[in-house]
Amino acid sequence: MKKTLLFLCLTVSFGLLFLPRGSTQENMRINLKDGSVIELAIDDIRKLTFDLSTDLQHHGEIIGQLLKIKAYPNPARDQVNLDYTLSVKGSVFLEVYSISGNLVSKKNFGDQQAGQYQYRWNATDVPSGMYICRIRHNSEIVSEKIIVKK
């Protein structure tokens, strides 16, 4: 009886730990030390293969293609500068959400060429707190945490 119960527990544990789940994750979020977030599609990650002997330095062109955003000053009082870099031409949308998920501000920049851009978000009408700035460029999305202190 004890052996059967032990075998059953081990079988269930193995199934929970090692068997693939029914649903799959579509995107992966990477939180960087500076507070910014990079979101990548799992399918794109599967396409990337890194050879440990060549190191990450040789893959600069792949890293350079990622959408980047930086918000400063952070924490901010009235205005936040948002610097973002596009690697290719495409449609750009900016959205700012409160930490509770409410849309606070949105801006459609339309089609923009590859390059560096800056947008100044006016935060005078929002209360103190944490906000998430999200930029969509074609199929890429990146987020940046913004803290407003009045």
Query: Is 135 within a domain?
Result: yes
Tally of domains within the chain: 1
Distance CA 6, CA 77 (A): 60
Distance CA 110, CA 136 (A): 11
Instruction: Please compute the mean of the pLDDT values over residues 111-133 and round it to a whole number.
Output: 93
What pLDDT does 43 receive? Answer: 61
Query: Is 4 within a domain?
Result: no
Could you tell me the CATH number of the domain that includes residue 133?
2.60.40.1930
Domain that holds residue 125: 25-148
Query: Is 2 within a domain?
Result: no
Rounded to two decimals, the pTM is: 0.57
pLDDT digits (tens, 9 = 90+) for 83-95: 998 888 999 999 9
Cβ atoms of 115 and 93 closer than 8 Å: no
pLDDT digits (tens, 9 = 90+) for 9-44: 455 444 444 545 545 567 777 777 777 777 767 666
Residue 60 has pLDDT above 60, yes or no: no
Contacts of 139 (CB under 8 A, 6+ apart): 41
